[in-house]
A and B are shown apart, each in its own frame.
Chain A
């Protein structure tokens, strides 16, 4: 079966750094996505990791350890607009099927 775990909610302060963890147990693995989803809107792509290690893109970084079934999304210099749900999704197959976690709702406070 497919199982993706991430914390339900997190709170952080504007300007701070926050790390959102994701662990997965899936029958197949062809990469891991992080998406941002504001309430009532569509997901937007943040990152894709298929190899172990850290990928940095501006204020956002994503890390993957395939042996541990673990990823994290790191958000630096938090802004109020970063308040959103962050979705971890595993690409199960090469043909495109992805399994999503329930999402982590991040609240950034002043």
Chain B
């Protein structure tokens, strides 16, 4: 069964460093998402992406964040200068095209720890 994959599973970084979180969505999916979940808190939407551009972003997704689809398979989230409060689980999700296709498939997540 096709699945969304994410690498690395755990990333530890120093405050102020740049990190890139990688995702490989399901191959025929066209809509991509990033979410984050701070430990013990709710899931929060960061950004949606379609047709090689951002469809929508939340207030959390400020200038420190960017997304890219560098090739036909990868979807990345970059945080330019990490802060302590960026420590969270980051989930990538994808879904197929079609008005009736609302099921988002989540990857296993990358746990980001900023020291």
Contact = CB atoms under 8 A, between A and B. Distances in A.
Interface of A: 31, 33, 35, 37, 41-45, 48, 50, 87, 89, 91, 93, 95-103
Contacts of B50: 96
Given A31-B102, A33-B102, A41 B108 contact: yes
A95 B33 CA distance: 11
Contacts, number: 52
Given A35-B43, A87-B43, 18 more contacts: A31-B102, A33-B102, A33-B104, A37-B43, A41-B109, A42-B107, A42-B109, A43-B106, A45-B106, A87-B42, A89-B43, A93-B56, A96-B31, A96-B48, A97-B48, A100-B44, A102-B41, A102-B42
A44 B48 CA distance: 18
Contact of B45 (A41, A45, A99): A99
Contact of B105 (A45, A91, A98): A45
A87 B109 CA distance: 17
B56 A42 contact: no
Contacts of A91: 102
B103 A97 contact: no
A22 B107 CA distance: 25
B58 interface: yes
Contacts of B43: 35, 37, 43, 87, 89, 100
Interface of B: 31, 33, 41-45, 48, 50, 55-56, 58, 91, 102-109
A109 B109 CA distance: 29
7 contacts: A43-B43, A45-B104, A48-B102, A87-B42, A87-B43, A96-B48, A100-B42
Contact of B42 (A48, A50, A96, A101): A101
